[in-house]
């Protein structure tokens, strides 16, 4: 699914995003921690060298060059966290919807009497809140 931009990013946010993606790219290339840390320090030094740039035209050029360099040097098989989008366990655990509990057998519900008592009370409160905000449904709509 395509990501929809939800706002305008500032230059600083774009630079931070580029830095983080570059670090993740380094992580994919270097599996030895000390080698990765050395490369990360070199990367940070490159970013810090231009951190005080006040000319926004130059700053945008540096950002564009950085984006291009990251694109050209991206790892062919990037690392993903297991439960993140693209990871092997993304959306693997399905959380059942709340209405499933309505179909439990009464003997199953009897094992958790306090929980189901409070649940029924909250369902009634929700219906009352709904009717207060939106009004009661029409009788003619109930039978369809």
Structure-token pair, residue 62: 């540096």
Q: What are phi and psi of 19, to 5 degrees?
A: -60, -45
pLDDT tens string, the chain, 144 residues long: the values are: 556 777 889 999 999 999 999 999 999 999 899 999 999 999 999 999 999 999 999 999 999 999 999 999 999 999 888 988 888 998 898 889 999 999 999 999 999 999 999 999 999 999 999 999 998 887 777 665
Q: pTM to 2 decimals?
A: 0.61
CA angle 118, 131, 123 (to 5 degrees): 15
The residue written with tokens 């580029």 in the block is: 18
Question: 69: number of CA atoms within 13 Å, CB side?
Answer: 14
């Amino acid at each position: 699914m395509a990501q929809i931009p939800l706002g305008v990013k500032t230059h600083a946010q774009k630079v931070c995003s580029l830095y983080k993606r570059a670090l993740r790219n380094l992580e994919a290339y270097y599996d030895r921690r000390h080698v990765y840390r050395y490369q990360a320090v070199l990367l940070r030094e490159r970013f810090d060298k231009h951190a005080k740039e006040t000319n926004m035209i130059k700053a945008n050029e540096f950002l564009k060059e950085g984006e291009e360099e990251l694109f050209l040097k991206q790892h062919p098989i990037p690392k993903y966290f297991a439960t993140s989008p693209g990871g092997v366990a993304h959306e693997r655990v399905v959380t059942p919807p709340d209405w499933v509990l309505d179909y439990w057998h009464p003997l199953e519900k009897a094992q958790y009497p306090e929980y189901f008592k409070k649940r029924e009370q909250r369902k009634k409160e929700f219906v009352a809140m709904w009717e207060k905000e939106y009004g009661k449904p029409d009788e003619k709509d109930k039978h369809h």
